[in-house]
Chains A and B, each alone.
Chain A
Amino acid sequence: MEALNIFVKSIFVDNMIFAYFLGMCSFLAVSKNVKTAIGLGVAVIFVLGVTLPINYLLNKYLLSPGSLTWISPSLAEVDLSFLSFIIFIAVIASFVQLVEMVVEKYSPTLYSSLGIFLPLIAVNCAILGASLFMQQRAFPSLGIATCYGLGSGVGWFLAIVSIAAIREKITYSNVPKPLQGLGITFIIAGLMAIAFMGFMGINI
């Protein structure tokens, strides 16, 4: 039940884009049409769903204070948490690179639809952000951390697909010239964020 709660909450209440502004760059750059937005969104869900459990285990058994006791009790004093940035980002970047190479080799069709987005994802703040939030909030179990990762991914997917749909339609409307393109996109995102604030306080 708690896992479901975290899942739903991370989609709507703690939405990566509208509550924390994470992954904004690719959100704005790749939301010109719905099809590519779906591709990137799926890739983000996938990468989040895999890297978050890996980072959770690393955090639990390697990084957080006193976590090295499983090697020997004398290491209880060691605190490696200052290394977490570098370890998390290394996991994410190498995973992304690995997936890209594997997909390129074995499934060219998938590569042509998903592959171009993969390098973009390594520097997507939503991925690293989710890992850092996971560390900060100290989730109790692996399952819940995974749910959080998947939920954040789905939330991000939802946001980018809906803004892409709005941007497709907005090309037909009469926007003041200097505001066209980027400016209006920001304002739409702001309005969508206000709408998402309506989900605040959901609890299952």
Chain B
Amino acid sequence: MAMDKKIFTTPIIKSNPITVLVLGICSALAVTVKLEPAIVMGISVTLVTGLSSFLISLIRKTIPNRIRIIVQLVVVAMFVILISEFLKAYVYDVSKQLSVYVGLIITNCIIMGRIEAFGLTEKPLPSLVDGLANGLGYGLILVIVAFFRELIGSGTIFGLQVIPQSFYDAGYMNNGLFIMPPMALILIGCLIWIQRSFQKEEKK
């Protein structure tokens, strides 16, 4: 069990898929303007990563090596379709905000990366845990970035006003740049900066 715990905890911070391994940034940044879609996206990716890694690991001995990428993509696409239909049925607003980025979970490098690196060689259960943990690590970064972008960009959290009106009266303005795409990149750059400077201290 101790082994399993390690599989679960390292991807969340120590080898976080976004800040350390640089995977899955593609669809990540666009959904972080507000907290709500970021959380939905985090949960969806966690589920897809875990389940598809599990399934691939189950059938890993029967997949011919030459066409394995297509097989993997089809398995992932199947789960993404399930998630996308589910979102459309239960949280229509969010699924509209996420637009094409739900479909783009298919090409999220975290999923392919975990399947290639872990699912193809390990047993089903550890693969499931590994996939879920990587998804959570990804979700964590999304939530952090979305928190700052929503707070500074529109002065709200989960759509609720948190910066009091008196601030605005005193001349405070929302920083519109945080809603634009470039700030997401710069914020992630800063997150990486912070994380790396802490990790270096640990090593000493």
Contact = CB atoms under 8 A, between A and B. Distances in A.
Interface of A: 18-25, 28-29, 82-86, 89-90, 93-94, 97, 119, 122-129, 132-133, 136, 176-179, 182-187, 189-191, 193-194, 197
Contact of B69 (A19, A119, A177, A186): A119
17 contacts: A18-B182, A20-B181, A21-B27, A21-B28, A22-B104, A82-B84, A85-B84, A85-B103, A85-B106, A123-B112, A125-B104, A125-B108, A182-B22, A182-B189, A183-B189, A187-B185, A190-B184
B81 A86 contact: yes
A136 B99 contact: yes
Contacts of A190: 182-186, 189
Contact of B180 (A29, A82, A197): A197
Interface residues of B, number: 47
B188 A186 contact: yes
Contacts of A182: 19, 22, 189, 192
Interface in B155-204: 177, 180-186, 188-190, 192-194, 196-197, 200
A86 B200 contact: no
Contact of B197 (A125, A127, A129, A178): A178
3 closest pairs, A vs B, by CB?
Answer: A186-B189, A190-B185, A190-B186
Given A90-B70, A122-B69, A182-B192, A194 B182 contact: yes
B107 interface: yes
Max chain B C-beta neighbours (<10 A), residue from A21, A90, A197: A21
A97 B67 CA distance: 8
B73 interface: yes
Contacts of B80: 85
A24 to B, nearest CB: 4
Interface of B: 19, 22-30, 67, 69-70, 73-74, 77-78, 80-81, 84-85, 99-100, 103-104, 106-109, 112, 177, 180-186, 188-190, 192-194, 196-197, 200
A35 B99 CA distance: 35
A84 B80 CA distance: 11
Given A85-B84, A90-B70, A122-B69, A19 B181 contact: yes
A21 B26 contact: yes
Given A21-B29, A23-B26, A178-B197, A128 B107 contact: yes
